[in-house]
Amino acid sequence: MVKKITDGFWPKVAGIILRNRILILICVALMTTFLAFQWEHMRFSNSEANLLPDDHPTNLEYNAFLELFGEEGNAVVLAIQDSSLFSPAKFNRWNRLSKQLEAFPEVDLVLSTENLKKLVKDNEKQEFVLEPFITEAPQRRETIDSLKQELFNKLPFYDNLLYNKETQTIRTIAYLDKELVNTSVRKDFILQDLTNLVNQFEEETNLDVHISGMPYIRTKNSQNIIDEIGKFILAALGVTSLIFFFFFRSIRATFISMCVVIIGVMWAFGVLGLLQYEITVLTALIPPLIIVIGIPNCIFLINKYQQEVKKHGNQALSLQRVISKIGNATLMTNVTTASGFATFIITDSKLLTEFGIVASINIIGIFILSLLIIPIVYSFMSLPKTKHLKHLNKRWIDAFVNWMERIVRERRISVYITSVALLVLSIIGIYQIEISGSPIEDMPKKAAFFEDIRFFEREFDGIMPIEIVVDTERKNGVLKPATLRRMDELGTLIEETPELSPPISVVNLVKYSKQAFYNGIPKYYQLPTSQENSFITDIARKSKDNGNLLKSFVDSTGQVARITAYMKDTKTDRMEEIEEELLEGISKIFPSDRYKVYMTGKALLFLKGTKYLVRNLILSLTLAIGLIALFMAYLFRSFRMIVISLIPNLLPLLVTAGVMGFVGVPIKPSTILVFSVAFGISVDDTIHFLAKYRQELTANHWRIQKSVYAALRETGVSMFYTSIVLFFGFSVFIISNFGGTVALGALVSATLLFAMLANLILLPSLLLSLERSIANKTVLKKPQIDILPKEELNLGRKKN
């Protein structure tokens, strides 16, 4: 029954399309205009992608931290490592830069040598007060040398915060307004105001300013993503149009195809705006993906049109057959491709879910566009000329198909040996794959801001915040001597970890208070003894300034404290070791019945998110394989055919995973996409081949060999064309500045090329070798849907 419906369905569709050409073009134009108006709703991501679901325990802890202390990644840091900075003119200009920064409404607080405060004891009032480090702009070198001596040797509280004593690097910290740090205001401030200020300073002083901090890195990284969208689209259009023209040698065919995919790109941006999704490093890939996936649709349709024209020269019949014959096959292949992307929807990761929704919608959209526009546009044009049909008789394509046929006929054992060898090597490589939980792993290594990240790692031990929250579970419990001693012990453990910076917490402030109590003598920068504690605490309580300083480290009730450290870019396994060591130390230092202590921060959030995605990758890939297996079962109604069809598509994925292990490409959010994307696309070739093979079997009275070779000759050319387009199309991602995008492009390209060879060599070989198992009508029943219509089959028989 289903088959009868589909037999009549596509001719009816063809009739509707060709009879309503003007109306359909108007509808496409209106839809495109509507979606173009949605572009204004597109939003570029202003924060790091959260890879974890909202209700994940790590997310809940991080959100609890934000409620207490606000956004922790709100500091922009500027640093100079140059001895000439300590000349009067340059030093005063550096201080003026800090004042200029503080004047911006986006900046909440600036900490620098210009407004540095010293904590001192007022003996008369018996309280601590903050006095300015610099009372007036120094005019002599001797004055600056004296200030430098005092800063480096008498103010250990600011060590590793404002200066590096060993290298004499000085830095300024600008804390952005926490309400604005994750909005577009941050982008405007950093790309315009801050950049202009720093450029002006560098021109006047000839000093090199290093800039970093999470807001700055996020802004620069987002701008790179925006810049690359246009680059990818132009590169994808350029590469695919050149290949298309090389195959078809027709300017108008190339132009029509480019128009189709450009409209598809406009729809992709429109869908992003309509759904109000942010443009992230993943959704930025969708427009060029639509170009790469849309061009094969155009190849199938235009190639079929030209074949029909060559056979009988009747334009109306040719256009009708293009829709009725290729429509079903193209629909099925686009559905399987969309299914590969749609499997990301079931993950709890917002990042992947949005990517899966937009990608799958637009893949179906580009199918509809190509099926409507190409036949309609050609209906208004004259028939293709003889020169446009020459590509149908290219000898080198015939030679390629003959080469494959010879291998399948004569070297099947070699094919199996090679396949098994690749499988064994791949399994070995898979065991060497690493997982990368580093948030800066994919950032452009050649960018100036990435070099500055490395600078701050060398000078100040990292820029990625790690937060440890200590809940004493009682009011004012933080300032109890026992709690401070435990926090200091944990701080020592953190300091002994090479990948972490010395921690900053209320402990540092209490140590500074003791130093101030003893008239600023540096050796007293330590925790007070039990006897000293009562005196120092009494003085601290009277001090207004001390209370203001406490806000950064302790909540308003005095019950919860934070310990902040910064982490260098570290491999995932080492990050996990550090986390384990710290948690072990925390459990020993803080009794669980008296304290509630947990770790959080952006670095930890990204690590957990990456590992969560890896688990979801297995789930989404398993679902993709299951969906396509069900699809094959629906088409061919044979378990053996399902197994045979999956082998040439799973082997390329295993080979790719093995290559990743051998060449050191880690699993990370960007490369996770490789497997589901490649599987969803590569299975299209299998469907085309098996559909043709199934029809040839019926025509040739279940003679396997004749049917396999006929299917190989019929489908080999189109599969070669589309695979080459996909290979070079995905290769455009190699021009990216992002390491993950480069790896994605290279790996998907290689996987698809290998999948083409597997479908054209391994799949026919398996069919021939298992001929006794599958060459009967009971095993290979009639399919639910004939992907290729009977007319196609009859024409194929006449050719043979």
Residue with tokens 């050609």: 378
Q: Are 606 and 439 in contact (CB under 8 A)?
A: yes
Phi, psi of 532 (to 5 degrees): -70, -30
Q: Is the Cβ–Cβ distance between 500 and 565 less than 8 Å? A: yes
Phi, psi (degrees; rounded to nearest 5) at 566: -120, 140
Residues 723, 380: Cα–Cα separation, whole Å: 30
pLDDT for the residue numbered 792: 45
Tokens of 37: 């108006």
Q: Is residue 372 within 8 Å of residue 330, measured between CB atoms?
A: no
328 contacts 787 by C-beta, under 8 angstroms? yes
Q: How far apart are CA 487 and CA 595, in angstroms?
A: 11
* Spatial distance between the Cα atoms of 118 and 549, rounded to a whole number of angstroms: 12
Instruction: Give SS3 for 228.
Output: helix
Q: What is the pLDDT of residue 713?
A: 77
Determine the pLDDT at residue 796.
41
In sequence order, the β-bridge partners of residue 500 are: 567
pLDDT at 720: 80
* Ordered domains of the chain (ranges, CATH): 2-48+220-431+606-799 (1.20.1640.10)
End-to-end CA distance of the chain: 31
Average pLDDT across each block of 10 residues of the chain; the chain has 800 residues. List them in order.
Answer: 53 86 92 91 69 79 83 82 90 91 87 85 75 86 89 87 88 84 78 89 91 83 77 82 78 86 91 86 80 82 79 81 77 80 77 86 92 89 67 67 82 88 90 74 73 86 85 87 90 89 87 84 86 67 55 83 86 83 91 90 79 74 76 71 81 86 79 74 76 73 76 76 81 78 82 85 82 52 47 41
C-alpha to C-alpha distance for 76 and 186, rounded to whole angstroms: 11
pTM exceeds 0.85, yes or no: no
- Which helix (H) or strand (E) segment is 464 a member of? strand 464-471
d(CA 55, CA 52): 8
In sequence order, the β-bridge partners of residue 111 are 173
- Of 668, 649, 657, give the one whose Cα is nearest residue 742: 668
Tell me what percent of the chain is helix, strand and coil, each rounded to the nearest 5: 70, 10, 25
Q: How far apart are CA 68 and CA 340, in angstroms?
A: 42
Q: What pLDDT, on the 0 to 100 scale, is given for residue 4?
A: 43
Residue type (1 letter), 661? G
